[in-house]
Every structure is written in C-alpha cells, then in structure tokens.
Amino acid sequence: MRYRLFSREVETFIMNFKSGIVSIIGRPNVGKSTLLNAVLGEKIVITSDKPQTTRNRALGVKHTERGQIVFFDTPGIHDQRGLLNEYMVKVALKTFKEVDLILYMVEAGRGIGKGDRFVIEKMERVSTPVILCINKVDLVKRDSVLPLITAYTGLFPFKEVIPISALNNEGVEILISLLLDALPEGPRYFPDDTVTDMPERFIAAEIIREKVFRALQQEVPYSVAVLVDSFKEAPERKLLSIAASIYVERESQKGIIIGRGGKMLKGIGSRARRDMERLFGTRVYLELFVTVKKNWTKDGRRLKEFGYDLPQ
Ligand code: GDP
Ligand code: MG
C-alpha cells in the first residue's frame, strides 16, 4: 500500500522495486501449474496427472515487498500432432519473446530426452535468460539431483539452477527470491489485490474441466471442452448460480461422462462446486450439461468457439 504514495519513477528509484514477466515452460506434466498455485498460495490454474491439462496461457501475479512477478503458466511443449496440440505448443512458444525471464521446468526422476532437446533448441533462438528448475525432488534420492544438474548445464547456459518440490512447497521461497534477483527494476504492473487477469467464468469452466480430467481415464479427457453458459451472482443471498456445458466429441463419451444413473457427472459437479466455493468465497449452485460436438478438436472453427484461438 505505501508504495502507492510514490509516482512510478520515484517508486522504482527509491525502492529498487523489481518487476517483470516470467514464463514457466517445460514438457507436459512436470508440475508447471502446481508451481504457479504454490507460488500464489491460491489455486487459480488446474492440474492433473495427465499431460496436456493446461491448454491456454494463464497469468498469475506474485506480490512481494521486493517486487512483483507476473507469471505465465503455459501448456506443455511436446511434438505431438493434431490441431489442438499444435495450438497448445504455439501458445507456449509464443511467450518466449514476450517475457523477461524463462523458467524451464524439468522433472528430477527423468533423464534428458528428445523433448528437452526440442525445447532447448527453441530457447537457443531467443536472448531471454533462462533459469532451470528441477521439480519433484521429493520423488528421488538427494544424490541423484547433482548429476542431472551437470547434464543440463552442459547443454545450455542456464542463468541459475534450482531444485524444488512444488507439491510440498519446498524451495519455492528460494525460487521466488532468485527470480527477483534476476528481474530488472521496474514498475508494478498490477494493483496489490490482483492475482490473475482471468475472468471468474473462465476459471469456473477450468475447474470443471479439471474434475473431468481427474475423473476419467485415457483419451476421453482430451476430447472435453467446457463453456460456462451463465454466471449469476446474488450477493444478497450469498449465492453464485453457474450453468456450464461439457462438450465431447462422441456420443459414447457423453455416456461415460454422465455415468450410470448420472453418478459420474454428479461427482464431477460436486467436486467442482466445492473448489468454486473455496475460490469465490460464496455458496455455489452448479448445473452441468453434456453436449456432443462431433470431432471438435479437429475443427478450426470449433476450436475458436471454445477459446483455443491464437491471435496472429
Ligand atoms: P503441468 O502439466 O506441468 O502443468 O503439471 P501439473 O502441475 O498439472 O502436475 C502434473 C502432476 O505432477 C500432478 O499430478 C501433480 O500433482 C504432480 N506434481 C507436481 N509437482 C510435484 C512435485 O513437486 N512432486 C510430486 N511428487 N508430484 C508433483
Ligand atoms: Mg499445466
């Protein structure tokens, strides 16, 4: 609050206030979204044990005394085909040039693979500094991390290397201070109380998609898109009424999502409602519908309709 008394230039000059944008990138499933939630202490992006959970670029703002870090959470970078997959990779790669710092995340339990070489090749083409973050150290023996660090630093001139466990919140504070060290002095880009620029209805749709991802096996989640049809607040009754549609590609998938006697859909709905109530701080009334849009993941027009549209 006290910084608000100063003009932008004076604030920067007096406080040495740091700020900038950091893009979290890496292969699918390494824990990028888990890290963003851990940094913010609030769950604004969805996570699951399935690759390709994150489809769009998400923005989260970390406020500290020393500075303000704007994070981009991105879809995993991989080389799988398909319109939706290609869209996701483009979203991630596009951030490279827009940001002050790249946070490249890898997993402690896995060696360097083709995917890493693919990403490193892309990073070599930009001058943006890169910090290497080795996640999931809770899953491995301590002495297995050092050889991995040596292998990675032999491949690319990382500015810093830091091992963490995003899930257990280990090393996250140190990471934040490393990022602040590396960022330039600058203004506050967002007011103190802003955590994200994503509209509440989008986050609501994402929460539902997370519950679908977590409830279903194999390929079905990848065929799912969620749109919120209505989002009505009744503050006097402390109630938020949300109606949303879950889109699938085939009739058989609709059956799976609804489940026997509607049991699956009911579970998805009640888990989503609980998360929404926590995040929005109000009671939520949630209605879900399941609709078939044949082969929407292969249809450019439909992708746009569902918000998977890259501005040229
Ligand atoms: P993303 O695709 O890179 O965004 O990965 P997510 O954040 O969705 O995480 C993928 C899976 O890894 C989820 O099941 C997470 O719970 C799990 N995960 C993330 N960070 C850690 C960690 O530090 N340790 C362990 N054991 N699991 C983690
Ligand atoms: Mg993610």
DSSP for the chain reads -GGGGS-HHHHHHHH--EEEEEEEEESTTSSHHHHHHHHHTS--S---SSTT---S-EEEEEE-SSEEEEEEE-PPP----SHHHHHHHHHHHHGGGT-SEEEEEEETTS---HHHHHHHHHHHTS---EEEEEE-GGGS-GGGHHHHHHHHHHHS--SEEEE-BTTTTBSHHHHHHHHHHHSPB---SS-TT----S-HHHHHHHHHHHHHHHH--TTGGGG-EEEEEEEEEEGGGTEEEEEEEEEESSHHHHHHHH-GGGHHHHHHHHHHHHHHHHHHTSEEEEEEEEEE-TTGGG-HHHHHHTT-----
pLDDT at position 3: 35
pLDDT at position 82: 85
Average pLDDT on 171-188 reads 96
Q: For residue 168, give the ligand 1 atom closest to its CA.
A: 23
pTM value? Answer: 0.90
Residue 1 in this model has a pLDDT that exceeds 50? no
Q: Express as a percent the part of the chain with pLDDT over 70.
A: 94
87-112 pLDDT, tens digit each: 888 888 888 888 999 999 999 999 89
Ligand 1 pocket (Cβ < 6 Å) reads 28-34, 47-49, 53-54, 76, 135-136, 138-139, 165-167
The least confident of 134-143, 174-183, 218-227, 267-276 is: 218-227
Split at pLDDT 50, 70, 90, the class of 235 is confident
214-223 pLDDT, tens digit each: 999 777 888 9
Residue 15 in this model has a pLDDT that exceeds 70? no
CA 202 to centroid of ligand 1, rounded, Å: 22
Residue 69 in this model has a pLDDT that exceeds 90? yes
Residue 14 in this model has a pLDDT that exceeds 70? no
267-295 pLDDT, tens digit each: 999 999 999 999 999 999 999 999 999 99
Mutational pocket test of ligand 1: of 23, 29, 170, the residue with most ligand atoms within 8 Å of the beta carbon: 29
